[in-house]
Homo-oligomer: A and B are copies of this chain.
């Protein structure tokens, strides 16, 4: 079974399983049934069994899954058994915060460098290089970086994305408030906080009739 052929919906559930398993292991639980995983995740036991079987992770009928074994397998499937090198492009408020945020700053990620058109190194976290954009191609290629977090303004986004992809980046977490185009084979996740906040505002109003011709 090929990595890229796994349905995206299945792939997106893997980190959820991993999180639950981490919690179970922290609570010293050695074996977990599909039913407990179902209660914890909100997915059906059937869906869970199918998802895991897809990657060759089979539990023992009647017993369930060994938590340590399953967690180790998931780490490998997701790719967290090795340290992933990433770069952060755009070192403004959001970029800076992400380099310090424990979702990004953790044991399976190495932030090789941050980049900005106007790097201010004094504010960097210890050990983080903050470099000018001109060094981006060189760093990506030398360190064989595949993953980038994009926190540049909308107007710069496509140009930067083209540069990233040209130099070997294959996965982008895009926070720039705009669509970006990438070639086939490059994976993008868009987090558009402006859109999300505006949608939130829409829903914050009382359920009222919206009038025509206002």
Contacts and interface: CB of A to CB of B under 8 A. Distances in A.
A124 interface: no
B56 A18 contact: no
Interface stretch (A28-36, A73-81, A126-134, A158-166): A73-81
A195 B15 CA distance: 6
A84 B1 contact: no
Contacts of A76: 214
Interface residues of A, number: 69
Q: Copies per complex?
A: 2
A60 interface: no
A19 B193 CA distance: 13
Interface string A202-214: 1111111111111
B195 A200 contact: no
A194 interface: yes
A12 interface: yes
Contacts of A117: none
B14 A202 contact: yes
Closest A-B pairs by Cβ, 10 of them: A97-B97, A56-B212, A187-B203, A146-B204, A15-B198, A103-B193, A4-B207, A103-B194, A171-B200, A171-B204
Given A4-B203, A12-B199, A173-B193, 15 more contacts: A2-B208, A3-B210, A6-B210, A14-B199, A18-B198, A19-B194, A56-B211, A78-B199, A79-B201, A93-B97, A96-B97, A103-B177, A103-B192, A104-B193, A171-B203
